[in-house]
Structure 1
Amino acid sequence: MSSAPDPSVPALRLQQPSWKDPRLLIGILLVLASLAGVTALVSSADKTVPMLAAKEQIAVGTPLAAEDFVVVDARLGDLEGAYLRAADPMPANAVATSLLRPGELVPRSALGRADELDRKPVGLPVDSPLPDGAGPGARVDVWVALPDARNGFGEPQLLLEAAEISQLTRPSSALGGLQPEQLHVLVPDSKMAVLLHALSNGARINVVLNPGSAS
């Protein structure tokens, strides 16, 4: 059996939320903040920055100038600070402290001063064909054999182990012919005097590829 409502008790009514309802405003703000965060994340992931890249191969010790580089757009994210941007000024009297290959971005760690180099490039006349894979950046063992008293050469001695190749050159002679290919390797100061002594005394130079050495 139903009973009549008590007129002394106020009736409960559902009311539509008002724009002035704090809960509705907080909800809208949370949605907008979430959308803004997603938009910023997508924009950041798609952001490209003009960076410098080597125009051609640059050997260790080469003085650097703005014309040695081209501008490329790259996405680096958190790694951007480790590389040279197009807007950054080129440091005065900078030289390459590591090999830069064509098209490679320029690490800031690859720029320094000539007096900071602990390895210097030296050209070696090679008496035997270069091994496959002996190119810039590869590591080779350098063996030398000094002339002996019998118009021959002594037993080869290992002079440089895992020396880094900086570049290869094949200079032209004055008569238009080709001279033997020269291998430029990076020589530490501690080995420089011994190597120059061997070269000035007509030592025979041979190189052996050392692919297992650390770069």
Structure 2
Amino acid sequence: MASLPPPRRAFWGDVRFLVGIALVALSIAGVWLIVSASDHAVPALQATRTIAQGEELTSSDFQVVDVGLGSLADDYLGPEDVRPGSVAARTLQSGELVPTSALTDADSSRSTTVVIQSSTGIPEGVEAGTVVEIWQAPPLDEGRSYDVPRILVADVIVHDVLDQEGVLADTGSQLEVVIDRADVADVLAATTGGAALSVVPVGSGS
């Protein structure tokens, strides 16, 4: 008796087998892409405190975090990018990743810091990084009275609120503020001229 030839595999069976292999391959490729993307996280600097514009920067102001920035990696600072003499070009908030545009050299910075004394105290909520206006009331009658208050400098950034002790605590409150170098002369003239200075937070209805 003659033997029968083995039955041929159905065409659709072969297709299902090939599709199954393709799905497995796609699944493996997807997992590889996810793992590969996580491996592309780069170290970046994150501010550990609020840093006022014009403030000199040191490594202690930041912590290093691994972040997947992708194509934006070059737009943010890494651990080796803070050079001696660098200052903040704008105010950096605590927890913020530091972009390269937020750094500048001290020599090219247009701002500096001065200490002023507010004769009316410091409004609640004013702290490092707060934007304020400096108001002055020029003296009249050899300091026995004062003229109508007016804005001396607008959009000033508070660098630090200074605590005073003893007798000086009764004479007002001191702040270190970041101002444009072009405004330094006016602020110093008002201070030495005996004007009463006050700070008003921007947006408080001043």
TM-score by length of structure 1 reads 0.70
Question: What is the root-mean-square deviation in Å for CA atoms of aligned residues?
Answer: 3.6
Q: Of 104, 127, 131, which residue of structure 1 is paired with 2:119?
A: 127
What are the superposed Cα offsets for residues 89-119 of structure 1, whole Å, 9 maximum, x if unpaired?
A: 4224212222334443322222111122222
* More helix as a share of residues: 2
Q: How many residues align?
A: 196
Point out where structure 1 has 5 or more consecutive residues left out of the alignment: 1-12
| Deviation, structure 1 residue 132 | 2.5
Q: Of 159, 163, 170, which residue of structure 2 is paired with 1:170?
A: 163
Does 1:155 pair with 2:148? yes
Alignment of 1:204-215 (within 5 A): 204-211=196-203
What are the superposed Cα offsets for residues 167-197 of structure 1, whole Å, 9 maximum, x if unpaired?
A: 2222456x8x747432233222332221211
Max radius of gyration: which structure?
Answer: 1
Point out where structure 2 has 5 or more consecutive residues left out of the alignment: 1-6
What are the superposed Cα offsets for residues 122-156 of structure 1, whole Å, 9 maximum, x if unpaired?
A: 22101113223322222222110121235222221
* More strand as a share of residues: 2
| 1:172 to 1:72, Cα distance in 2 relative to 1, 3 A | farther
- Could you say which residue in structure 2 is the equivalent of 1:95? 87
TM-score by length of structure 2 reads 0.73
Query: Counterparts of 1:185 and 1:81 in 2: how far apart (Å)?
Result: 32
- 2:45–2:77 contact (8 Å) kept in structure 1: yes
Question: Aligned letter for 1:189?
Answer: R
Question: Aligned letter for 2:57?
Answer: L
| Deviation, structure 1 residue 74 | 3.5
Query: Counterparts of 2:103 and 2:165 in 1: how far apart (Å)?
Result: 31
Q: Of 61, 65, 73, which residue of structure 2 is paired with 1:72?
A: 65
